Structure 1
Amino acid sequence: MEKRGSRRKKAARSEMARRAEGDRPQGSWRRWLRKIMIWGGSLALLGALFLGLAVAFAARSMPSFYQLKATQTAQTIVVRARDGTEIVAIGPSYGKWLSSDQIPQVMKNAMVAVEDRRFYMHPGVDPYGLARAVYVAITGDKRVSATSTITQQLARNVFLNNNRSLDRKAREMILAMALEAKFSKEQILELYLNKVYFGGGAYGIDSASRNFFSHPATELSTAEAAIIAGLVKAPSRYSPTADVDAAVGRASVVLRLMKEQGMIAPDVTVDPSAVNLKEEKGQNSVRYFTDWALPQLDLLLPETFEPIEVWTTLDTGMQRAATAAIKGNVPGGAQGALVSLDRDGAILALVGGTDYVETSYNRATDALRQPGSSWKLFVYLAALEAGYTPDDRVVDTPVTIDGWSPRNSSGRNVGEIDVRTAFAYSINTVAAQLGNEVGFGTVASMAKRFGITTPIKTYPSMVLGSNEVRLIDMTRAFAVLSAKGASVEPYGIVKVTTAGGKLLYQHERRRSSQLVADYVAAGMTDLLQTAVNTGTGRAAQIGRPVAGKTGTTSSNKDGYFVGFSSGITTGVWMGRDDSKKVGGLQGGTAPAKAFAAYMRYAVKDRPVEEFDTDLKLPEWQLEPDDEYMLGDPDDYYFVDEQGNLIEPGEPQGPRDDPFGDAQPGPGEAQRPGRGADGAPQAVGDDFLDEATGARRDRRPRPSQTPTPQPSIEIIRPR
């Protein structure tokens, strides 16, 4: 019995020891958890205290509701042309201030539904939306939206700018909570709906209603309220005066959200496409230019809300000529665009479409289209830099590169020609051979060097312009040739001043760099000039030297012409927005004609400038100088028939030709290795030919050289 009791005690002690050992790590884990919770709670408490103090301080220093009503923060901008004349005034248009009880409830519901569905529940910052924003920042998942609350948007519109930074976002959140602490939800919504920007210069719902529907906001229908609410996300993109379809599509999204949130009965049908829009007079195409230039002010200027004047590079006469040239030559159903640069990169004219009111989409700066054969500029630049010259001989023959077989537009191959002719007539097989020889990556690098900003794929057909580009980038590339190879940076803003004349910004020309050697630029200009004089760009002639290149894509979807004269470089594109075929459209037809129509006006007050196409090749590219390699012929020693040495320059007897190069008379046969008198020569014919250069004189001319027919070969006669 005692032994049994002893065994039980030992077993109990062992069990207790095992439990104690098992409890040790668990107790340690709990202690660390407790510490983390204490420290985390302390930090959270300090953060909350700091945030509360910041919000309280912001709320205390914030203007009153009536002060905010009286303050208009929108900026008035006067845009001036290069001669100082006012071309457009862009500024706020304010309607009548509507109190909360005057604003239709459907307008409030529409705005809350699309911009901030938890508006009536959050304290200015939506925790769910904040978590979503953090998720987007970490994962970069653009499918998940991360918008600000209505209160945050109001804080940004009234107190801050649109710069994207963590500092600005933090201040926006503090100010939003301060607004919520100081004002009621109805007051915040009233301020928001009377101050938010709806596009077209309209600030507030009353101004937007009058601008778009010709009646005050107190009379807004459900469909009209949905259209206005949909504008806040992107005023220019969804403007009903710029793109009706986009505005209606966005309004449909707003209506769907209102139904989902119970603001509209599910069985109610609303048709935003039936809304009667206010007729708007046509706007000058200058708006294409201002749409491109004015957003740059956010980067050029310090934060300011005072009225400013923006002095630009635009020439009003050239802008009118450019607009007329596009409208007068664009094929029916197609669109057109034009960019014109001065030699320093200043934009003289910019047309983004045929009608700004019909569509504000800027095809000159935003559209990505294939440039066709105008892309061959980079192929031939790479070839010239690799050592080719305009006079080198190449062969137009069927070729296949990595399974790709390009064809000429004529369907024929003409055999041996020079580089100049191949470029002037835009022969595809030669461009393909040159691109293959220098390397498609080299062609892509050349395009990037000349300012192409879009991605470039290096498959073989890229030499014919299959990569999509922007018209402004292609125009910039050609402008480099106009500047004899120096870099060019397009710009549109010369200076910005306050209304009182204080200078806020002054354009400073960047230091240019030489992108290609002088002889490469001269050779390329030679090719471009020939393309206009005798090649595919003949329609671009204007009675003075012009250099340029046409471009036509497959099925006539795009037509390009880019060229320069007298220091002005102009690019023209034409085609349909849906990329469908345009009958008869070629780069050498409508685009070249529009180029000529505009350029005749653009250069009329400029002196005629001849192009520098004189090729001053570097030593490594010159033909070998045989006499220099072998020395001066006067330094050679010869022997007479008796074997006596003859000093250099010493008379050598009655023979007129001491080198034995005299031609035999009629009927005389000159045997190899003998002089004119039949006596044996002291030196061989080969040596004499090398010494006198006779071998080079006796070479057959290029036209006598047999034409080889390999699949891919470039013939370079010495």
Structure 2
Amino acid sequence: MPRPAPIVPRFPRPEPPARARSKPAPPEAARQPAPKPPRKGHWLFRLLRGGFIASVWLTLGVIVLVLWFSRDLPRPESALDAARRPSLTLEDRSGRIIATFGDLVGEPLRLKDFPPALPAAVVAVEDRRFWHHYGIDPIGLLRAAWVNLLAGHVVQGGSTLTQQVAKTLFLSNARTIRRKVQELLLTFWLERHFTKTEILEIYLNRVYLGAGAWGMDAAAKTYFNVSARHLTLAQAAVLAGLPRAPSRFNPRVNPAAAIARGKEVLAAMVANGSITAAQAQAAAARIAFPRPPIGDGWFADWVADQSEAVVAPNEDAVLRTTLDGRDQAVAESRLTAVLDGPGAAADVSQGAVVVIDAATGAVRAMVGGRDFHESSYNRAVLARRQPGSAFKPFVWLTALETGMTPDDTVLDAPIRIGSWAPGNFEHRFLGEVTLEDALAQSINTASVRLLLKAGGPRAVAATAARLGIADRLPDNASLALGTGEVGLMELTAAYAPFFNGGYRVVPHGLLRTPHPAERVIDPATASMMARMLAAVVSRGTGHAAAVPGHVVAGKTGTTQDFRDAWFIGSVKGELIGIWLGNDDNQPMKGVLGGGLPARLFHEIALGID
């Protein structure tokens, strides 16, 4: 029997893994690799790369800006020898400085040459962190900004001394971005090429301090008449305070403001630890300024014009003048006293005085008005006024040169020339009088008769011109009464031949100016004129000018309606010329040449050497 087939168990057939259903192929452009997960640090790399690129462009931009701002930058190496206006320094006959013109630069000093108080004061008030910063002081800028914010306006600056040196030496005061950038560039250049000590020395020797003074030494001589080597603490404080506003704090212009600023500097020095409060208080009490140099006005301007003939162009010069300090001070003070006192009561608002050496023509004093600061117009030199009877000596001299003598007589009686009939001031007539008495009493009718007898107005005008009167004079008989207009300086100088033996002098203010003597009057004639002019003072209209113990000779002058009053005279070898009046030609109240002018002559004569 056949075996049955073996039974094989059946198991289910495993199904193959399921396949994803096929989809349509995407477009070629969309076939991109799957994004990779971000790598750690990739963002930092991009940031650094961007920063590097930005810094490169920023650096290039800065370079371009620097080059643009530097295209007209001055060469620093040559600025230390920058050009300036040549200076003219005028001294009086004793050597004292009376005036300066142009840019005055003093002796260049090293830091060790200055008294320690001066650099300490400058640093305290201008840049207290000077020794610690590198040209720019961020702390100082922030401090100044805060102070200004609290004050509501600018009261403090933040620029350093180095920046101020850069601006002073190289740049203008224009407030532009270009100028500020250039200032910064030059500041860094200075800090790199100079030490702090050298920068401070440059500042002290170059900073502008007003009145044409550049540098501390020039300012010390200008304001205190001393070298910067010898400044006191009080003086140093005043000078250190000037750079902020040289005009406003100028001691000559505004001494009160200069004192207040000096006290601010002393306070800054206390805060900085440079001095004690007691030292500051003592120094503040000593702040004072000497009287402005005498002659720093009309005389100085007059002499400066003369100096052009003796000073080489574009060169500094120091010139000694003929001015006498004592004479000038006396003339100024005495004129002021008259104008403020009896002059004011008599409606006299102006006056002028000159003092001239009768032998040489050297001008010893010149006052051109009441106050130079109020009016610089020089009435002693420029003004032209009628001299009245002060012109009569030229009539008498012309008569003497025709052969007359002081003892000859002339008629004092009414006279008429056409429609003109001159009279005497006292409205009386003396008949025959000597020439000496006629001049002493200033008789008008006698003067007219002498003019006609001596050759007429042209002959008298020629005599006056020979003695130095350069102005055009009228060609009629009224010239005998001084109707021509002349200047005080030339009229006074024209009297010189009467008292020096007959020599004409040329008024001058420079010692080195040569003036050869020229005899224009015979010595005997000059002696007769001196005799008659002395009689004017001893027993005539000029008796108020007499000075006990001295021979005084001169002549009074009064014009119509009391518009001008004069006295020209000689004493102690000096000629003193005086004019009083008003610029607008208004009459004074009865002022005669023998009154206020003669009394002023007396006062000045007592004071001069």
SS at match of 1:580: coil
Tell me which of 580, 588, 594 is aligned to 1:582: 588
Pairs within 5 Å for 1:48-87 = 67=78, 71-87=82-98
Paired position in structure 1 for 2:458: 441
Q: What's the CA shift for 1:389?
A: 0.9
* Contact 2:469 2:491 (8 Å CA) reproduced: yes
AA partner of residue 310 (structure 1): L
How far apart, in 2, do the equivalents of 1:202 and 1:516 lie? 48
Paired position in structure 2 for 1:391: 407
AA partner of residue 93 (structure 2): R
Paired position in structure 2 for 1:405: 421
* Contact 1:397 1:415 (8 Å CA) reproduced: yes
How far apart, in 2, do the equivalents of 1:414 and 1:550 lie? 20
Tell me which of 445, 448, 461 is aligned to 1:429: 445
AA partner of residue 490 (structure 1): P
Q: What's the CA shift for 1:90?
A: 3.9
Q: What's the CA shift for 1:601?
A: 2.0
Paired position in structure 1 for 2:468: 451
How far apart, in 2, do the equivalents of 1:298 and 1:413 lie? 54
SS at match of 1:83: coil
How far apart, in 1, do the equivalents of 2:172 and 2:450 lie? 71
Paired position in structure 2 for 1:419: 435
Tell me which of 551, 554, 557 is aligned to 1:548: 554
How far apart, in 2, do the equivalents of 1:397 and 1:421 lie? 15
AA partner of residue 102 (structure 1): A
Paired position in structure 2 for 1:668: none
How far apart, in 2, do the equivalents of 1:370 and 1:418 lie? 26
Pairs within 5 Å for 1:204-223 = 210=245
Q: What's the CA shift for 1:519?
A: 2.2
Q: What's the CA shift for 1:321?
A: 0.7
How far apart, in 1, do the equivalents of 2:447 and 2:302 lie? 35
AA partner of residue 536 (structure 1): T
How far apart, in 2, do the equivalents of 1:81 and 1:533 lie? 34
Pairs within 5 Å for 1:417-566 = 417-438=433-454, 439-494=456-511, 506-510=512-516, 512-543=517-548, 544-566=550-572
AA partner of residue 356 (structure 2): L
SS at match of 2:297: helix
Q: What's the CA shift for 1:403?
A: 2.4
How far apart, in 1, do the equivalents of 2:474 and 2:75 lie? 57
Overall identity of the aligned pairs, in %: 34
SS at match of 1:364: coil
Q: What's the CA shift for 1:508?
A: 3.0
Find out whether 1:599 has 2:605 as its counterpart: yes
AA partner of residue 600 (structure 2): A
Give the 3 Å change call, closer, same or farther, for CA 314–214 of structure 1 in structure 2: closer
Q: Where does the alignment leave 5 or more consecutive residues of structure 1 unmatched?
A: 1-62, 106-196, 216-239, 242-280, 495-505, 604-718
Pairs within 5 Å for 1:190-205 = 201=212
SS at match of 1:493: coil
How far apart, in 2, do the equivalents of 1:471 and 1:487 lie? 16
AA partner of residue 315 (structure 1): D
Tell me which of 303, 311, 334 is aligned to 1:293: 303
AA partner of residue 424 (structure 2): N
RMSD, aligned CA: 3.1
Find out whether 1:362 has 2:378 as its counterpart: yes
AA partner of residue 457 (structure 2): F
Paired position in structure 1 for 2:228: none
Paired position in structure 2 for 1:237: none
Tell me which of 336, 343, 351 is aligned to 1:336: 351
Paired position in structure 2 for 1:318: 327
Paired position in structure 2 for 1:697: none
How far apart, in 2, do the equivalents of 1:468 and 1:600 lie? 30
How far apart, in 2, do the equivalents of 1:479 and 1:467 lie? 20
Paired position in structure 1 for 2:194: none
How far apart, in 1, do the equivalents of 2:546 and 2:415 lie? 33
AA partner of residue 399 (structure 1): I
SS at match of 2:379: coil
How far apart, in 1, do the equivalents of 2:173 and 2:543 lie? 68
Q: What's the CA shift for 1:214?
A: 6.7
Paired position in structure 2 for 1:185: none
* Contact 1:77 1:90 (8 Å CA) reproduced: yes
How far apart, in 2, do the equivalents of 1:442 and 1:83 lie? 43
SS at match of 2:95: coil
Deviations 1:500-540 (A, max 9, x none): xxxxxx33341x12111122211111110100100000010
Q: What's the CA shift for 1:85?
A: 2.5
Q: What's the CA shift for 1:405?
A: 1.0
Give the 3 Å change call, closer, same or farther, for CA 209–456 of structure 1 in structure 2: farther
SS at match of 1:301: coil
The count of aligned residue pairs is 371
* Contact 2:400 2:525 (8 Å CA) reproduced: yes
AA partner of residue 587 (structure 1): G
* Contact 1:334 1:582 (8 Å CA) reproduced: no
Structure of greater Rg? 2
Q: What's the CA shift for 1:576?
A: 0.7
AA partner of residue 363 (structure 1): R
* Contact 1:479 1:569 (8 Å CA) reproduced: yes
* Contact 1:485 1:515 (8 Å CA) reproduced: yes
* Contact 2:497 2:521 (8 Å CA) reproduced: no
Q: What's the CA shift for 1:369?
A: 1.1
How far apart, in 1, do the equivalents of 2:426 and 2:392 lie? 17
Deviations 1:86-145 (A, max 9, x none): 33344437996595782599xxxxxxxxxxxxxxxxxxxxxxxxxxxxxxxxxxxxxxxx
Give the 3 Å change call, closer, same or farther, for CA 486–282 of structure 1 in structure 2: closer
Give the 3 Å change call, closer, same or farther, for CA 101–579 of structure 1 in structure 2: closer
Give the 3 Å change call, closer, same or farther, for CA 104–422 of structure 1 in structure 2: farther
* Contact 1:329 1:591 (8 Å CA) reproduced: no
AA partner of residue 313 (structure 1): T
Q: What's the CA shift for 1:360?
A: 1.1
AA partner of residue 501 (structure 2): K
TM-score, reference length from structure 2: 0.56
SS at match of 1:531: helix
How far apart, in 1, do the equivalents of 2:94 and 2:247 lie? 34
Paired position in structure 1 for 2:60: none
Tell me which of 315, 332, 345 is aligned to 1:305: 315
Q: What's the CA shift for 1:70?
A: 5.8
* Contact 2:87 2:104 (8 Å CA) reproduced: no
Q: Where does the alignment leave 5 or more consecutive residues of structure 2 unmatched?
A: 1-72, 106-163, 178-207, 215-241, 255-290
Deviations 1:260-304 (A, max 9, x none): xxxxxxxxxxxxxxxxxxxxx977454211111012111122223
Q: What's the CA shift for 1:65?
A: 7.1
* Contact 1:77 1:89 (8 Å CA) reproduced: yes
How far apart, in 2, do the equivalents of 1:379 and 1:68 lie? 65
How far apart, in 2, do the equivalents of 1:103 and 1:362 lie? 40
How far apart, in 2, do the equivalents of 1:65 and 1:477 lie? 58
Paired position in structure 1 for 2:396: 380
Give the 3 Å change call, closer, same or farther, for CA 100–284 of structure 1 in structure 2: closer
How far apart, in 2, do the equivalents of 1:416 and 1:465 lie? 23
Pairs within 5 Å for 1:227-242 = none
SS at match of 1:300: coil
